[in-house]
Structure 1
Amino acid sequence: MFSRLFKTVLHPDTHQICFPVFLPAAGLVLLFVAYCSLFQASANELFAWLQSAVVSRFGWFYLASVAVFVIFCLALIVTRYGDIKLGQDHAQPEYSFLGWFSMLFSAGMGIGLIFYGVAEPLLHYIAPPVGSGNNVAAAKQAMVITFFHWGFSAWAVYGVVGLSLAFFAYRFQLPLTVRSTLYPLIGDRIYGPIGHAVDVFAVLGTLFGVATSMGFGVLQINAGLHYLLGIEQDIWVQCVLIAIVTVIATLSVVMGLDSGIKRLSQINVYLAVALMLFVLFTGATVTLLDDFVQNIGAYLNGFVGRTFNLYAYQETHGWLPQWKLFYWGWWISWSPFVGVFIARISKGRTIREFIAGVLFVPAFFTFLWMSVFGNSAMNIEMQSPGALSDIIQSNLPLSLYYFLQYFPWPTFTSILATVLIVTFFVTSADSGSLVMDTITSGGVDHPHTWQRVFWAVIEGVVAAVLLVAGGMQALQTATIVSAFPFLIVMLLMVYSLMKGLNQEGVRMDAASLPPTPALANTQLSWQDRLHAIMAFPVRKDAQTFLLDSVLPALRAIVRELKDNGIDAALKRSPYEISMCADYGDEDDFYYAVRLVGYDASDIQLTGTDDNDVVEYFRAEVHLAMGGQDYDILGYTHEQVINDVLEQYDRHMHYLHGLR
């Protein structure tokens, strides 16, 4: 199926533009900007109609789909597929757990936690979807609802997209774009119009999802500046703020993933933890920790029911589209962005590590955040009715700043909160532009700098246009509507990933087969194996082995395969000799012997008279899925052939299992 497994599927130019994706995506966005700018009244009416149409007809579809994503992710954790690496078998994670968590958390939630951490629980407390508010029962329900909106369901959406992208990009060497996730379903057509359309949907969803976050962020930055400096809360002030932060985000994008985004992400986490711990330890610490534990229990207890609850038998007076469906649309529209981003930083991790890290770690941090801020806000409201609810209902972005007045050093913490919002704002903007740049460049690692700047600027422009055209209503509508086409792509993505994982299962079964008796009888004698283990060959010896044993062995096999009508090729370099047998639409057979050097400074070398040697070499076997962690240096010509034949036999079992 994956006939291009070890072939170049991208153009060799590492600074390319995928015009069939870039031009339609950019054109549609510019048309949207022009329409909203020139026809604001009409745009407002269109937003209202679209939101009503999607919610009334397809609300069930959003909820059922997200339930599928949750079940799928949880199932993968407990299956054998959890051991598969997102990369070749020898791949190792590029980032530490802290660095990885910091980047995925900042990209995934960021601004939303700051914007809604105080406001959402309190709004559900005073106006729950059903029943009366301002009582203990409403407080319990408010935290469960908040947890549900920000918990496992949201991260399952991100996990499905990120896992699919990482699996097909790093395991099967396909481009790191959304189209690659559908390869098992449509094959080479991912490089045609269908694949282009999928990537265009991904770009548009990402753009509106990030623009929504930027809109919320700038509303709260403006509120913070109004609270601290008296600057007017005005749409044009907000547009200026968007321009300023967009410039900062553009600079971060140009600096790149490691220098810019990674550093900002870590700063975000440190500042967020500092602010949360300050509220926790200067507030009702023990009570808040009690609330946190009980909130988790209530959330888990009612998870299944809430997952499928559309309030079909109850009147919620517009609550469902304003909250639940908005969040589901927000997570779905943002999933291409977060998915591509966390796929880029997750190479080398196993599927089990990936899902556990993406699904549980940020969710539990979010639960703690919401408990600290949400329960603290409700405690204040219970003691002084109207103290916070009045300001939240009249000016939601100011809620965090008025909340901080009830704790020590409110001016300092308000400044800290504003800085945190700005850094989250910048991180979301530069991460989003980097992802859109990657998609519109066909998945290359280093696209044109001007292209990255273009998307960073467009994000800011769309956020400003949405705010001018309709404020928060426009932000919510754009999010819900833009998510719909990509939701269909995500469901296809799940099916495609299941097919890919099934193929990996067949490969694992074939790799676990014992060698045939004929091959087993030709393995090294125990004396030869002992000498091979004791020896630490230097570079010269290893290269001699490649030329004298590996090269003639692989050359003979390639010649025999060609004589039998199989297209086979041999490649050689000073440190590696490989062969590949082409099986057309099925996976090619690939076998390579690669010289890998290791530090020998602390080892007493045998087999050499050079006591100053600081490096020894192993001749390690690499197959299609990466290094196999065994050394054949010292094998004879015949023994090398037999090792190749053993791996070839397993590969044929694997192909047979797929047919």
Structure 2
Amino acid sequence: MKKLKSGLRTSMDLGVTIPSLIFILGVCLFSAFLPEATEAALTTIKEFVFINLNWVYVWAITIFVLFLGFLTLSKYGNIKLGPNDSQPEHSFFSWVAMLFAAGMGIGLMYFSVAEPMTHYTSDAFSESDYQIRAKNAQLYTFFHYGIHAWAIYGLVGLALAYFAFRYKLPLSLRSCLYPLLKDKMTGKWGTMIDVFALCSTFFGITTTLGFGVVQINSGLEKLGILPETSFFYQALLVSLMVSLSIISAISGVDKGIKLLSNINIIAAIILMVFVLSFGPTNYLIGAFTDGIGNYVNNFFALTFDTHIYDEQTLPWFYNWTILYWAWWISWAPFVGLFIAKISRGRTIREFIAAVLLLPTFFIFIWMTVFGNSAIWTDVHIADGALGALVSDPDSMMFEFLNYLPLSELSSALAIIIVIIFFVTSADSGILVMNTISTKNAKYSPKWQTIFWGVLLALLALMLLNAGGLQSLQIMTLITALPFSIIMVLFTVSLMKALVIDQNYYDSKFSVSTIPWSGEFWKDRLKKMVNFNSQSAIKEYLDTHVEPAFGELKAEFEANGIVATIRQYDNPPKVEITIAHDAVDDFVYGVKCHRKLVAEYFMQESNLPDVENAKTYYPKTYFGDGRDGYDVKYFTKNELISDVLKHYDRFLEIVSKEDNELFLSNGEED
């Protein structure tokens, strides 16, 4: 805990916090005071990225989906996010509720009617049959909010949780690259990654909350609670809800955030059941069933589709699919870190299955109930009135609810859900920003939590008043491009670590220890704590291996078997061979093998002394190419016994008729 000049104690890392604040304030001030110029410049950059580099997003997200699918089905799925005996900290329901609230939040309410209706009325899908347009609208809504979106969050959350809880590294994005960066993760590269994560989190939450408060204001106006939608009322709403978010964040994950998430998921289910019951129920059940099948059938086609052969849909593709991929990627540092924070003790398979499938399944039901209901209502009841409102997404949800019974009650419930989503997004965001800025310090003063909440509210209101939210949103989308590359590196880093992890826990006792008794324990301990030179291994070959092979050769020949012993100098090795005509020769050899010792091992005071990074040991090799093993602890008689075990194996194999083709030496008669 450091002490600032003002006397305040802080756990913030100034190397991360100060550059982040400079960049955040700079972008926000430009967006607020020069909104049109800033938006124009950033829009030009965004259009270039989306049009010319959209394939980066497509391939990156494809890699994330395939990688997580592979881990789920592989042996690595059993690895825990923490020590092997760790247990989950939260109940399954609370865990899913929290990751769901952080992952989608306000967007789920904002776009549940607006997006399907927009796709339905879009010129990109101008089929005359409304049923085909409705089916396409549902399919692309599923695509944008389904497995691909959650794979982005899941990858970052998995990498963070794995390296933080399994490797005991800081809960920081820099830790996700530890196998690639090693000690450099504590240097400037690691700091740059944390600065990027902090800025990306701040921008993503600021813009989402700015747009969210507009929807809340619109809903309260529809209900007659507020007289108008204006900046004054939006400022009051932001002040109230950010205050609630700060209180929730200070209370911690186990209290405020968990409680609000649980309440919200229950409230959302109640609203959804209400719409399902009073809407076109049979149509919705059929539409959901058909939609799932349509999504599964088109999964890979959608994954790789760049619309390059259909120029009519290209603008739609850039403004919806690519924008969504960029938006989810820009939110990934925040959502991933929060998901990781609440996922200690889960297995990798459990984590991926829950993060990818459960929210996706719920969202599919949600989007079907609201989106398909709105389209059906627009066609059969509203006579196109809802479709005409696609340019006003803030009020579409409430206009749709007006066509159902108890519209005021359902609208009030919708507003409550949006407000709680607002608070849960903000409080988890505040918690994450404090975590990043402190490099996951265990203890932080409460004023830091308040600081991030107040800054969030002030800048959101400043941009909302000046019309600069759009610029900030575009900036967020642009930063997603470099982070998508970083996320691809996460997959490489995580895979490398998982292979090491699996090998570590799969490592069994050395073969050389199998015949041990207590008879030679002092000699074996002396060998164990000494790392040998090449000359020492050469001496072992001369004093143990060659005499053992000599005795074997004599005994083989006494039993009518001709054996040959060969010695080599570079590298030093000795082998005994029994030649055959019809099958490959039996070969058992021991050679001097080199290995490198880890740097940290050399520096550890309470480990055996190692003066050189290179050490040598006697390793077996065989005529059939199998991997050998260290035999430095073997006595002469144990070596003889080991050769005979392999010779017995050899005789067992060559005596089987089924192995004839495999064992033939290929020589012609």
* Alignment TM class, shorter chain as reference: 0.7 to 0.9
2:186 aligned with 1:191, yes or no? Answer: yes
Residue 36 of structure 1 is matched in structure 2 by 31
Residue 458 of structure 1 is matched in structure 2 by 455
2:422 aligned with 1:407, yes or no? Answer: no
Residue 584 of structure 1 is matched in structure 2 by 599
How many Å separate the matches in 1 of 2:492 and 2:459? 33
Q: Which protein is bigger by CA-based radius of gyration? A: 2
2:298 aligned with 1:283, yes or no? Answer: no
Q: TM-score by structure 1 length?
A: 0.76
2:441 aligned with 1:426, yes or no? Answer: no
Q: TM-score by structure 2 length?
A: 0.75
Contact 1:438/1:445 (CA < 8 Å) preserved in 2? no
How many Å separate the matches in 2 of 1:15 and 1:517? 56
Distance 1:381 1:87, change over 3 A: same
Paired letter, 2:390: I
Contact 1:217/1:425 (CA < 8 Å) preserved in 2? yes
Contact 2:51/2:318 (CA < 8 Å) preserved in 1? no
Cα shift at 1:170: 0.6
Query: SS where residue 143 of structure 2 aligns?
Result: helix
How many Å separate the matches in 1 of 2:160 and 2:194? 12
Q: 1:78 aligns with which of 73, 81, 90?
A: 73
Residue 543 of structure 1 is matched in structure 2 by none
Q: 1:389 aligns with which of 387, 390, 396?
A: 387
Distance 1:109 1:444, change over 3 A: same
Paired letter, 2:411: S
Query: SS where residue 97 of structure 2 aligns?
Result: helix
Distance 1:471 1:37, change over 3 A: closer
Distance 1:336 1:293, change over 3 A: same
Q: How do 1:344-423 and structure 2 match up within 5 A?
A: 344-383=341-380, 384-393=382-391, 395-423=392-420
Range moving further from structure 2, 380-389 or 405-414: 380-389
Cα shift at 1:346: 0.6
Residue 132 of structure 2 is matched in structure 1 by 137
Residue 435 of structure 1 is matched in structure 2 by 432
Residue 613 of structure 2 is matched in structure 1 by none
Cα shift at 1:268: 1.1
How many Å separate the matches in 2 of 1:590 and 1:357? 44
Contact 1:467/1:474 (CA < 8 Å) preserved in 2? no
How many Å separate the matches in 1 of 2:268 and 2:344? 26
How many Å separate the matches in 2 of 1:339 and 1:21? 19
Range moving further from structure 2, 444-453 or 104-113: 444-453
How many Å separate the matches in 1 of 2:12 and 2:400? 47
Residue 486 of structure 1 is matched in structure 2 by 483
Query: SS where residue 17 of structure 2 aligns?
Result: helix
Contact 1:126/1:134 (CA < 8 Å) preserved in 2? no
Range moving further from structure 2, 497-506 or 231-240: 231-240
Residue 92 of structure 1 is matched in structure 2 by 87
How many Å separate the matches in 2 of 1:101 and 1:515? 48
Cα shift at 1:213: 2.0
Cα shift at 1:462: 3.6
Contact 2:31/2:468 (CA < 8 Å) preserved in 1? no
Q: How do 1:305-324 and structure 2 match up within 5 A?
A: 305-313=301-309, 314-316=311-313, 318-324=315-321
Contact 1:15/1:444 (CA < 8 Å) preserved in 2? no
Cα shift at 1:515: 9.3
Paired letter, 1:124: H
How many Å separate the matches in 1 of 2:389 and 2:367? 19
Residue 62 of structure 1 is matched in structure 2 by 57
How many Å separate the matches in 1 of 2:113 and 2:475? 24
Contact 2:46/2:478 (CA < 8 Å) preserved in 1? yes
Contact 2:39/2:474 (CA < 8 Å) preserved in 1? no
How many Å separate the matches in 2 of 1:20 and 1:562? 45
Q: How do 1:294-305 and structure 2 match up within 5 A?
A: 294-305=290-301
How many Å separate the matches in 2 of 1:405 and 1:159? 37
Paired letter, 1:166: A
Distance 1:468 1:318, change over 3 A: farther
5+ residue gaps, structure 1: 1-13, 523-552, 567-581, 592-659
How many Å separate the matches in 2 of 1:60 and 1:201? 23
Distance 1:514 1:274, change over 3 A: farther
Cα shift at 1:458: 2.5
Distance 1:190 1:587, change over 3 A: farther
Paired letter, 1:116: F
Contact 2:241/2:422 (CA < 8 Å) preserved in 1? yes
Query: SS where residue 174 of structure 2 aligns?
Result: helix
Distance 1:586 1:407, change over 3 A: farther
Contact 1:130/1:315 (CA < 8 Å) preserved in 2? no
How many Å separate the matches in 1 of 2:509 and 2:153? 33
Paired letter, 2:599: G
Cα RMSD, aligned residues only: 2.7
Range moving further from structure 2, 464-473 or 425-434: 464-473
Residue 267 of structure 1 is matched in structure 2 by 263
5+ residue gaps, structure 2: 1-8, 533-596, 607-669
Q: 2:215 aligns with which of 216, 220, 223?
A: 220
